[in-house]
Amino acid sequence: MQTQLSFDCPEPIFPKVKIVALGGAGGQVLNRIALPIGWTQLWLDTDLRSLNATVNGGESLTLGLKTTAGFSCGGEIDLGRQAAEENKQDLLKAFEGVNLVVILTALAGGCGSGGIVPVVQAAKASGALVVVFAILPFSFEGTRRISIANQAIANLRSESVGIIPLSNAHLLEGSKGKIALDALALADEWVQNFLEIFTQVFLKPAYKTFDWKDLSSLFGEKFGKTIFGFGKGSGPEADDQALMDLLLCPLLHLPGDASRADRLLLWIRFSPDFPFEVLEEIASKVRNQFSATQDLRLAFAVNNDVKASIELMVLGVIDLQTPIQSIKTTMSVSRKVTSVVKPANSSRPDQKEFDFLADALNERGFFGKTPSQLVDGEDLDVPAYIRQKIRLQV
């Protein structure tokens, strides 16, 4: 297939973007990141007190005043759902005319895990494209939280949204050299990175290379797993370094799973001193790595501020309808979840492949199927270096 090179900079369309913080944790993240210009914010929580404490400009909405009387959901997923359902009309109104909704939430408590589905439904109902940043709990936070997260992701899967799971464990590992134990702060960093690049790629008029319609066609009707990753490189071997950085990006974790993308956007920003052949080489390497022979869209941007540096971003989708060889068997966890909770809007067939997410959730690798080996409250199937928070020098 031909790759589309869109160098001719068509007339930009400015989409309306709304960033939504759902629940306390989502609110904290939104609170700490710098927002691109022109983005509007929406704060959603059941906990009135926490909402008051975090809201920092923009709209805010207290969910489920009748259901929770202004208190938190206490980790009850059903309660969170009911609360969000209660305010569905308000949500529809809030999303009116918005083209892109970015939701920040943590899938461990009740509000985030339960409320996410009605919020997503409302946003979609008003015609917006939805991308969810889901912060997953630490494996050591206990199996209950992990199972809540699993359930929420399963529910979310039945909606057409881009989900970018932020696994705390991966974030910890990815934050080079830092000994910050605050997982949420790390999540901030990643979200910030994402938003920056996202705006660079899709929204910033000066470097407009992909329009947001590319995005909507990427996330089109057929929806699957989202692949998102980025990498940087500088110096004489900047291209190799950036590629490697991209492939090792924690968000692209488990190479087996992300090795095949049905639709892929590749965005490259480079310093003006880069030879063009190198860019072509990078593009073909990325295409091979992700087996994105079907549909690869390419965009370039030039960064005049630095020398000998290159940045890569991939955003892709793996369709779930097509059989995926590299993905092994269905997770028992996901099966359980889908059978217990019937997806509200299940127009698409059952979500079958789900394992790499679940693997990411509990970090148990190929022991995912076996019962946990709890010794002194620790699941020994989870790598010792993760539990002991040993930083790997990579």
Partner 1 sequence: MKSFPCIAAIEIGTAKTVVLVGEVLSKKRLNLIGMSEVPSKGIQKGEVIDFKAASEATHAALEAAEKSAKIHLEKIYLAQTGGHLQGFFHTGTVNVNSSDNIVSQSDIDRAIFEAKQKRLPEDRVYVHHIHNGFSLDDRQLLEPTGVQGQKLTAAYWSVHADTKRLRDTIHLLNGYGLTVADVMVSSVASAKMVTTSAERRSGSLVIDMGAGTTDYALYQDGFIIHTGVLPIGGDHITNDLSLAFRLDRARAELLKCDMGKACWLKEDQNETFWLLRDRSIGDRSFPKKALVAVIEARVKEIFQIIHKRIEPLVDFKQLSAGVVLTGGSALLPRMHMVAENVFGCPVRLGENPSWVRDDLRLPPYSTVLGLLTQALSEGSPFEHTKSTGSQPLWNRLAKMLHLTH
Pick 74 or 255: Cβ nearer partner 1? 255
| Count of residues that bind partner 1 according to CB under 8 A | 31
- Shortest Cβ distance from residue 333 to partner 1 (Å)? 15
Least distance (Å) between residue 290 CB and partner 1: 10
Of 244, 272, 291, 294, which lies in the binding site for partner 1, with binding defined by CB under 8 A? 244
Q: Rank residues 101 and 261 by Cβ distance to partner 1 and give the closer one.
A: 261
**Of 57, 127, 220, 256, which lies in the binding site for partner 1, with binding defined by CB under 8 A?**
256
Is 288 buried (19+), middle (13-18) or exposed (0-12) by CB count in 10 A?
exposed
Between the alpha carbon of residue 77 and those of residues 116, 178, 255, 301, 318, the distances in Å are: 10, 33, 32, 43, 28
- Smallest distance, partner 1 to C-beta of residue 373, A: 5
Q: Phi then psi for 356, rounded to 5 degrees? A: -70, -25
Binding of partner 1 by 235 (CB under 8 A): no
Among 48, 61, 254, 279, binds partner 1 (CB under 8 A): 254
The letter for the amino acid at 155 is N
Binding mask 309-348 for partner 1 (x = CB under 8 A): ----------------------------------------
CB of 326 to partner 1, least distance (A): 9
Q: Which stretch binds partner 1 (CB under 8 A): 14-22, 37-45, 104-112, 379-387?
A: 379-387
Please name which of 92, 320, 114, 302 lies closest in space to residue 226, comparing C-alpha atoms. Answer: 320
State yes or no: residue 383 binds partner 1 (CB under 8 A): yes
Distance CA 258, CA 280 (A): 22
Pairing type for strands 309-319 and 263-270 reads antiparallel
Would you call 248 exposed, middle or buried from its count of C-beta atoms within 10 A (0-12, 13-18, 19+)? middle
| CB of residue 376 to partner 1, shortest distance in Å | 8
Work out how close the CB of 3 gets to partner 1 at its nearest, in angstroms, rounded to a whole number: 18
* Residue 349 identity: P
- Check residue 307 for interaction with partner 1 (CB under 8 A): no
Taking a C-beta distance cutoff of 8 angstroms, is the pair 168, 135 a contact? yes
> Please, how many CA atoms are within 13 Å of residue 284, restricted to the half-sphere of its CB?
5
* Interface segment toward partner 1; rule CB under 8 A; list 9-17, 144-152, 242-250, 269-277: 242-250
Instruction: Please tell me whether residue 179 binds partner 1 under the rule CB under 8 A.
Output: no
Cα three-residue angle 249-250-253, rounded to 5 degrees: 100
Interface residue with partner 1, options 65, 248, 279, 308 (CB under 8 A) = 248
Q: Which is nearer to partner 1, 42 or 298 (CB)?
A: 298
| Letter string b/e over residues 136-153, b meaning 16 or more CB atoms within 10 A of that residue's CB | bbbbbeeeebbbbbbbbb
Cβ proximity to partner 1: between 181 and 384 the closer is 384
Q: Closest CB to partner 1 among 222 and 328?
A: 328
- Both tokens of 378, joined, read 């620790």
Q: Which residue has the tokens 């009740």?
A: 110
Interface of this chain with partner 1, residues 347 to 376, rule: CB under 8 A: 363-367, 369-370, 373, 375
List residues bridging with 318 in a β-sheet: 225
Binding residues for partner 1 restricted to 263-292, rule: CB under 8 A: 285, 288-289
H helix intervals, 126-202: 143-157, 168-174, 183-198
In three-state secondary structure terms, 270 is strand
**Phi/psi of residue 48, nearest 5 degrees:** -60, -40
CB closer to partner 1, 52 vs 329: 329
143 interacts with partner 1 by CB under 8 A: no
Closer to partner 1 by Cβ: residue 278 or 306: 278
Question: Looking at 143-151, 174-182, 253-261, 308-316, which segment touches partner 1 (CB under 8 A)?
Answer: 253-261
Cα(375)–Cα(357) distance, integer angstroms: 25
**Interface residues with partner 1 (CB under 8 A)?**
243-244, 247-248, 253-256, 285, 288-289, 363-367, 369-370, 373, 375, 380-381, 383-386, 388, 390, 392-394
